[in-house]
């Protein structure tokens, strides 16, 4: 195609004056005439520039009704934020838009890393198919063919996706880059330079923000480095600067109501900017300390897309400030050297034997009963820094585990005990031996239903005089289990009666027809009831 038909040189003037909407429109005209990766890449770059921080649109459907290339990047980023059902209608809306390499690449990325894999989500993929049939971008076509080669036909859903790709395989293989005229290549290079020159300038301070950020992430405990970084970021107007300043101030005094409100606003409005790529893999309830992520829980689910997204973030520098991490799928993240601040884990997927050799681990909560706990508890080299432990055991394992040296080093212990049959007082004899344990705060929870947490518990807190305050509690549950839990409490109270206690309290959620026996026994032992 003659270079004159591409008319790329006419885009240099609007690029130099910063009219990126005009540049985007011109690039799209050229790409639709000659779909080439060298044209598609600047379209993506200009689209990202116009999208800014990619904040979700207030009304996706209203914004998408009138095709405007300047809005497409933002719309694609938020297309799936309401799930697959809402996404179907949005895909139908997008099918009415003109061809665009950003749409092609977005569609291809769904096949590379499927966001929905259940059979109920198949209508979503049916709506995606018309957009897939429109793909002309060579990079998108190549990505889809590569993904198809990796599908496992033994997996029903991957076979389903393979069928979609196979139906357009000929079209995808035909998506090739034609040769661009030399003058067009030259103009594209000039446009790329203009784009780079228009990028957000680096801070003019003597201390470079990126260098300071690297210093903070290299030594997360250094508050002075965070304070210097805050000053630089405040001059840039970056929300992390204000958040660091506020949260550092909170370590010196109590923040005012206005300051606390502003802190909440920053955490809500700037979450994506503060978390970067970590935002996509974390549950909403993140905790920030001194301006950086400190406590986080990974998203959970069986979809391959979730696990893949989590794995891709492993080693990212922003993990360096995280002190507590929760959730399965964490292996690559938890075991990476970047996790220099990590001290606490919950429901980790890392093997217990590996965790035992982590000298920095102070707090651990694990699901599933493991018979190696007694052996690990006997190992003097295991869990050297551990102080807080929350684990599941079967009833017959409890006494042996309590006798291990590990238990004597703990400050807080919760043992969740799986029970199914009737529990006798004799089987709970370990409760009367609590005074012989060195743990100042220990809880035994008898779990009747792990999934719904139907259970009762006995918490022992050592008082200064050496005696224990004993607190009994239950969770809410259905009636048949309430009767079992009542019997569990009464059996445990027979052992608690042997202790020299400072006080005994009961806070339960049992209903009137089963609670009387428990309340009567607690009162007979001199205990009190709590609301």
User: Order of strands across the sheet with 468-474?
Assistant: 287-289, 292-297, 324-326, 344-346, 363-365, 388-394, 412-418, 441-449, 454-462, 468-474, 501-507, 528-529
At residue 142, the pLDDT reads 94
From the number of C-beta atoms within 10 Å of its C-beta (0-12, 13-18, 19+), residue 310 rates as buried
CA–CA gap between residue 107 and residue 70 (Å, rounded): 18
Helix (H, G, I), strand (E, B) or coil at 467: coil
Q: Is the pLDDT of residue 119 over 50?
A: yes
pTM, rounded to two decimals: 0.64
Buried b (16+ CB within 10 A) or exposed e, 198-223: eeeeebeeeeebeebbebbbeebeee
Helix (H, G, I), strand (E, B) or coil at 343: coil
Q: 53: which 2 tokens?
A: 């921080």
78/81 Cα distance (integer angstroms): 5
Enter the tokens of residue 289: 């300390």
- Return d(Cα 457, Cα 301) in angstroms, integer: 30
pLDDT at 156 over 80: yes
Q: What is the mean pLDDT of residues 295-322?
A: 90
Q: Spell out the domain ranges in the chain.
A: 3-197, 209-261, 419-531
- The 10s digit of each residue's pLDDT in 464-518 is 999 999 999 999 988 888 999 999 999 999 999 999 999 999 999 998 788 999 9
Mean pLDDT of all residues belonging to the chain: 91
Q: How far is CA 253 from the centre of its chain?
A: 31
Quick one: CATH architecture of 419-531?
Answer: 3-Layer(aba) Sandwich (3.40)
Is residue 389 within 8 Å of residue 410, measured between CB atoms? yes
How high is the pLDDT of residue 203? 46
State the pairing for strand pair 344-346/363-365: parallel
In sequence order, the β-bridge partners of residue 41 are none
Burial class (CB in 10 A: 0-12, 13-18, 19+), 441: middle
Query: Looking at the DSSP assignment, which residues form a beta bridge with residue 297?
Result: 326
């Amino acid at each position: 195609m003659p270079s004159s038909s591409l008319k790329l040189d006419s885009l240099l003037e609007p690029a130099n004056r910063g009219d990126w909407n005009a540049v985007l429109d011109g690039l799209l005209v050229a790409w639709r005439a000659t779909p080439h990766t060298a044209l598609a890449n600047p379209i993506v770059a200009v689209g990202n520039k116009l999208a800014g921080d990619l904040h979700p649109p207030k009304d996706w459907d209203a914004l998408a009704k009138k095709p405007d290339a300047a809005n497409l990047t933002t719309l694609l980023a938020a297309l799936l934020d309401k799930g697959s059902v809402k996404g179907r209608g949005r895909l139908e809306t997008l099918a009415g838009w003109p061809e665009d390499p950003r749409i092609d690449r977005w569609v291809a990325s769904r096949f590379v890393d499927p966001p929905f894999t259940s059979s109920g989500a198949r209508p979503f993929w049916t709506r995606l198919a018309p957009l897939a049939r429109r793909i002309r971008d060579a990079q998108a076509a190549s990505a889809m063919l590569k993904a198809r080669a990796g599908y496992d036909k033994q997996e029903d859903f991957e076979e389903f996706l393979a069928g979609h790709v196979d139906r357009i395989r000929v079209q995808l293989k035909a998506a090739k880059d034609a040769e661009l005229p030399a003058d067009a290549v030259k103009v594209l290079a000039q446009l790329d330079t203009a784009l780079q020159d228009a990028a957000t300038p680096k801070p003019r301070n003597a201390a470079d923000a990126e260098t300071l950020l690297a210093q903070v992430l290299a030594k997360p405990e250094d508050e002075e480095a965070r304070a210097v970084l805050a000053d630089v970021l405040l001059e840039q107007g970056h929300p992390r600067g204000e958040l660091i300043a506020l949260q550092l101030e909170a370590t010196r005094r109590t923040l005012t109501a206005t300051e606390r409100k502003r802190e909440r606003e920053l955490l809500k409005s700037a979450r994506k900017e503060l978390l970067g790529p970590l935002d996509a893999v974390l549950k909403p309830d993140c905790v920030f300390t001194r301006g950086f992520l400190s406590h986080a829980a990974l998203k959970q689910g069986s979809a391959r897309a979730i696990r893949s997204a989590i794995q891709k973030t492993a080693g990212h520098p922003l993990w360096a400030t995280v002190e507590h991490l929760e959730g399965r799928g964490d292996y690559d993240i938890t075991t990476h050297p970047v996790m220099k601040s990590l001290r606490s884990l919950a429901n980790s997927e890392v093997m217990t034997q590996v965790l035992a050799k982590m000298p920095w681990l102070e707090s651990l909560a694990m699901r599933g009963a493991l018979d190696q706990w007694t052996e690990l508890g006997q190992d003097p080299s295991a869990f050297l820094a551990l102080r807080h432990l929350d684990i599941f055991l079967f009833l017959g394992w409890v006494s042996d585990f309590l006798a291990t040296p590990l238990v004597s080093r703990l400050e807080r212990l919760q043992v969740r005990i799986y029970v199914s049959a009737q529990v006798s007082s004799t089987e709970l004899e370990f409760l009367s031996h609590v005074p012989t344990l060195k743990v100042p705060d220990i809880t035994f929870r008898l779990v009747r239903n792990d999934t719904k947490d139907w259970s009762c518990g006995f918490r022992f807190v050592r008082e200064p005089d050496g005696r224990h305050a004993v607190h009994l509690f239950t969770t809410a549950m259905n009636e048949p289990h309430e009767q079992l839990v009542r019997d569990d409490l009464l059996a445990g109270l027979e052992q608690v009666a042997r202790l020299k206690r400072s006080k005994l309290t009961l806070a339960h959620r049992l209903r009137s027809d089963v609670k009387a026996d428990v309340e009567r026994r607690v009162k007979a032992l001199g205990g009190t009831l709590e609301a």
